[in-house]
Amino acid sequence: MSARPHRRPRGAEADDPEEESGEPSATEAIDPEEEPRGAPSSSHPRRSAAARRPGSTHGRKGRDSHPTGGPRRREKRPVYWRARDSLWFEPLVALAIVIVLLVGLWAYTQNWPPVYVVESQSMQHGLTDQVGLINTGDLVLAQKVDPSTVVPYMVGLQTGYSTYGEYGDVLLYHPNGDDAVTPVIHRAIVYLQYNPGGTWSVPDLAPLACSAVAHPYYSVSSTVSGCGTNDLTGTLTLFGIGWQLVTVTIPLNSMGTASGFVTMGDNNFIPGDPGTGEPDQTFGISALVQPGWILGVARGMIPWFGAMKLLLEGDASMVPSQSWTYLGSSVALVVLAGLGIHLLWKRRTTDPDDEDPSEEGRAEGPRGARPWIGPGEDEEEEGDTDRTRHATSRRRIPRKELLRGHGRPGGRPRPAVRRPTKHVTEEETDEDSV
């Protein structure tokens, strides 16, 4: 009776010594509870590529194994160059911020340029800098509006509407309509309407008390009672104007023949008891401000930063001393805030995996500069891994030892897949031996 050799399962290698011995191989040493039998095969192209990549987590979250056996955070895709590493990155970001701010200011004001520097003390309330008011060296936003919506001082007095510490709107206009002249920023006091007969009408004064009462707001010299708002001539006098409650005298006969606003700076007056106001129209700055001369109405400002322009032009003496103190503090805060934002952004965007904790990794430098593995090297490495697995001892290797890089340095080995093994019973053995 001849004995036939033991039949091997289909697809098994004929020279596998581990199959003949019946002992579990290194590839079968994984605990079934930790590696389910129905796990996906490592032959999948994407999974196998992830498994072959050094330091790849292959679907595991958190920390992975290190070649020296210690834990390390999983490695991200190598980055050869990042925009924030360029020397031009921060200057370009600063330029982009400036452009965005200018575009935003233009969209808000509908004017170009959207801001103007206050070059004189005509709008200050005194010689010192008062926060919230218009001072020398401030940047004022000039918003384009419909001239019919401008609120003069005498109307704001009745409604309670005020801007920058006084009633009414502050206008930015070209004196006498000349675009080549530096714009003037002064407050609108009252609107005068010219009549064809050479007289004037001031409808804004109609609700106010005139000289017939104890504390009048205005007086007209061409009427017996001193009251009236239509067909006026002579001199129009306004009482209690501005923060110094000065008296403003307007000679109607010398105001020209065009309707417009009477304007005056908050600080343009001659001290006295009471003081005497100096409107732009009597001081020789401009004729009555016609609606077409108006650039815009002051709507917001950036205090103190315009003083740097005056410093470069040699007009720094006009800036209040407090403004320089406030400007220095503001610049320091801006620099510190920018530095803090930069450090915070750098801390949040720094890759914690850029440095390899191992001695070999520190010698090679940041892992972000490593080149990708080529196809040839990948295949060769895979072959070396397979040969290493077959050369592994036949003893049962714990899973933790396998995950520490046993059999393949630099990361987790490829998941092993069980090959089906046919169990040979004693009856089959007796039948084969017959």
Kindly tell me if the per-residue pLDDT of 289 is higher than 70: yes
Inter-residue contact 186 to 124 (CB < 8 Å) = no
For residue 202, name the pLDDT band (cuts at 50, 70, 90).
Answer: very high
pLDDT digits (tens, 9 = 90+) for 44-55: 444 444 444 544
What pLDDT shows up at residue 94?
Answer: 83
What pLDDT shows up at residue 49?
Answer: 46
Burial (CB count <10 Å: 0-12, 13-18, 19+), residue 166: buried
HEC-encoded secondary structure of the chain: CCCCCCCCCCCCCCCCHHHHHCCCCHHHCCCCCCCCCCCCCCCCHHHHHHHHCCCCCCCCCCEEECCCCCEEECCCCCCCCCHHHCCCHHHHHHHHHHHHHHHHHHHHHCCCCCEEECCCCCCCCCCCCCCCCCCCCCEEEEECCCHHHCCCHHHHHHHCCEECCEECCEEEECHHHCCCCCCEEEEEEEEEEECCCCCEECHHHCCCCCCCCCCCCEEECCCCCCCCCCCECCEEEEEEECCCCEEEEEEHHHCCCCCEEEEECCCCEECCCCCEECCHHHHCCCCCECHHHEEEEEEEEECCCCHHHHHHHCCHHHCCHHHHHHHHHHHHHHHHHHHHHHHHHHHHHCCCCCCCCCHHHHHHCCHHHCCCCCHHHHHHHHHHHHHHHHCCCCCCCCHHHHHCCCCCCCCCCCCCCCCCCCCCCHHHHHHHHC
Kindly tell me if the per-residue pLDDT of 309 is higher than 60: yes
For residue 224, name the pLDDT band (cuts at 50, 70, 90).
Answer: confident
Kindly tell me if the per-residue pLDDT of 93 is higher than 60: yes
Q: For tokens 């290190």, what's the residue? A: 66
Please report, to the nearest 10 degrees, the dihedral formed by the alpha carbons of residues 76, 81, 85, 91 taken in order.
-130
Q: Which residue has the higher pLDDT, 401 or 223?
A: 223
Mean pLDDT computed over 356-369: 47
pLDDT digits (tens, 9 = 90+) for 314-349: 888 888 888 888 889 988 998 898 888 878 877 776
* Mean pLDDT for the chain overall: 74
Q: Which residue has the higher pLDDT, 328 or 396?
A: 328
Q: Which residue has the higher pLDDT, 213 or 320?
A: 320
Q: Which residue has the higher pLDDT, 331 or 66?
A: 331
What pLDDT shows up at residue 412?
Answer: 55
What pLDDT shows up at residue 127?
Answer: 85
What pLDDT shows up at residue 278?
Answer: 93
What pLDDT shows up at residue 98?
Answer: 87
Q: Which residue has the higher pLDDT, 191 or 105?
A: 191
